[in-house]
Structure 1
């Protein structure tokens, strides 16, 4: 299922100051590097867990509704379903009225169930689009502490291994404890 980021997170789940404290860095020489590592680490944690840490907007595309009339949304946690569109044979989208589907954003993964007689896509590929707002919230404090710590661990690991060659095992391995921190948060998709 294709996913397109519409609006990225405004902030990161850990601040530069927190990471510098974690790394025991006193000067600002590597601030730009550390900030880029924070963003990369957040993205990695999001990929591994199928969870979005900070509030962000995504567009999810589906080819068809399952036989039971449902769609499972591949991002978690979902804060809101913002729009559902169905494309006809000519590629023209129609916004589906909220009365034509029920959104369950509490379940993980979140899901949508279409009402009997709801419009079905007229094209076979990418006939349904669902726009969602996902993430734990806009504040770093909204993100579970183990996931925030996993981000800091990755940043520290990548910062310390930045001189390693690309085939060096240290670069491809995650730091000890990382998998244990993220395991309870992994969303398995069907």
Structure 2
């Protein structure tokens, strides 16, 4: 499986002011609201959000993803690796010789589960993927486009983690460990990961 971000949240969607206030409160220092400092805080927030999303499989701010599979995990239903999924925008099957077929939405439907969203066939099974081909799924996932749509515990965890990244920025390897407080906040959102693809290839 290959999973790639197609879009990134705008800097304006990130809670820079909240992080700035948190750092003032915890460190006692007044952080100048200049361009360089703001850019640094944006970077720490992006890193913290990425780390939390990697641990939980939950997308905090809405964006589009592209997933490429060698084959469906199961032709009875394909789980998606991230949640919450807002929409599946496009599904294409490449036959391995350069010919792509766009699957009609009449052939599948999205089940938008909070933990394990699925693509299910509207018929019996999902369409066949040729042996040397692949299937590409483009989907949109996230809690919302603005920070106030992110669940409070995940939002606070991101601020805490970005704050640590800021305070540990002069130390090598400072981003290696997840603080206990952050881990406790995100624990209920963590889901058991399942393979997204390769389910049928060996069985043919």
TM > 0.5 fold call: yes
Say whether residues 1:186 and 2:190 are aligned partners. Answer: yes
Decide which of 93, 103, 122 is 1:96's aligned counterpart: 103
Q: Distance in 2 between matches of 1:80 and 1:53?
A: 15
RMSD: 2.0
TM-score by length of 1: 0.88
Contact 1:14 1:152 in 2 (8 A): no
The structural deviation recorded for 1:78 is 0.1
Unaligned residue ranges in structure 1 (runs of 5+): none
- Find the aligned partners of 1:27 and 1:10 in 2 and give their Cα distance: 22
The match for 1:28 among 26, 30, 33 is 33
Q: What secondary structure does 1:3 align onto?
A: strand
- Picking from 114, 124, 131, the partner of 1:116 is 124
Cross-structure match for 1:81: 88
Alignment CA distance shift 1:54-1:61 (3 Å): same
Report the equivalent of 2:27.
Answer: none
Tell me, in whole angstroms, the C-alpha distance in 1 between the residues paired with 2:74 and 2:158.
39
TM-score (structure 2 length as normaliser)? 0.83
Please list every run of at least 4 consecutive aligned residues from structure 1 whose deviation after the TM superposition is greater than 4 angstroms. Answer: 11-14
Counterpart Cα distance in 1 of 2:103 and 2:117: 18
User: How far apart are the structure 2 equivalents of 1:133 and 1:46?
Assistant: 15
Counterparts of residues 16-95 of structure 1 (less than 5 Å): 16-24=16-24, 25-28=30-33, 30-95=37-102
- Structure 2: gaps spanning 5 or more residues: 25-29, 195-204
Greater alpha carbon shift after TM alignment, 62-71 vs 44-53: 62-71
